[in-house]
Amino acid sequence: MFNVKGKVVVITGASSGIGEATARLLAQQGAHVVIGARRVERLHALASSIRSEGESVEFQALDVTRLEEMQSIVDLALTRYGRLDVVVNNAGLMPLSPLEALKVDEWNRMIDVNIRGVLHGIAAGLPVMRKQGAGQFINIASIGAYAVTPTASVYCATKYAVRAITEGLRLEVGGDIRVTLVSPGVTESELAETITDVGAREFMKDYRRVSIPASAIAQSILYAISQPAEVDVNEIVVRPTATLV
């Protein structure tokens, strides 16, 4: 049913949430998944689970803020499987806070992971895809890439940047390489656990009462990958059907 069997897919931020759900789903559909994240013990458990189902996976510790580590996981994919079909730039942070809280270290960390991490994924994967004459980047943004909310100024700025980078990449690469932006609405994940500001944390608890499972975003990623080579799904926004009153 899906045109993903045998494709080699690198997924960042794969130790939980959307990254984990995507790795499981794509492996079930016959893709070779190469997963990376900082929490190696989580990767090991996920890889063991995928392999127990007879599916294909490799894993490696990955800090997307370090270009050499991003290049290393792409090299792992090439060494193990001989090609690179898709890079899912999923790793991200969301430590929300009011600007007046001056959590500068958290701002900088978000910029490093959410923006620089995507750029590193592109830098590592693009030369390979150019040489192959084919490939696909799937960059995970957020509904925060379309509207700014209080306490989310910096987070939204990083996601606006991901949206801009994705569109710029699409315009530049031409017909051989596909580029997709996936923007989740409120999704079950561990993102909110990085919030240290008390007010923002309490607000997010209430805001996330209505959410969709990470598997819903994985299905959107699968849809984008599975299209025929001549079809490029550029942008997908996925929100819960229900809304908070």
Answer yes or no: 81 catalytic: no
Give percent helix, percent strand, percent coil of the chain, each to the nearest 5: 50, 15, 35
Identified catalytic residue from 81, 146, 155, 207 = 155
Q: Report CA-CA distances (Å) from 126 to 61, 84, 167.
A: 21, 10, 15
3-class DSSP assignment, residue 29:
coil
Q: What sections of 53-197 are H helices per DSSP?
A: 67-81, 104-110, 117-132, 153-173
Q: Give Cβ neighbours of residue 97 (< 8 Å, ≥ 6 apart).
A: 103, 106, 151, 195, 196, 197, 200
Kindly list the catalytic residues.
155
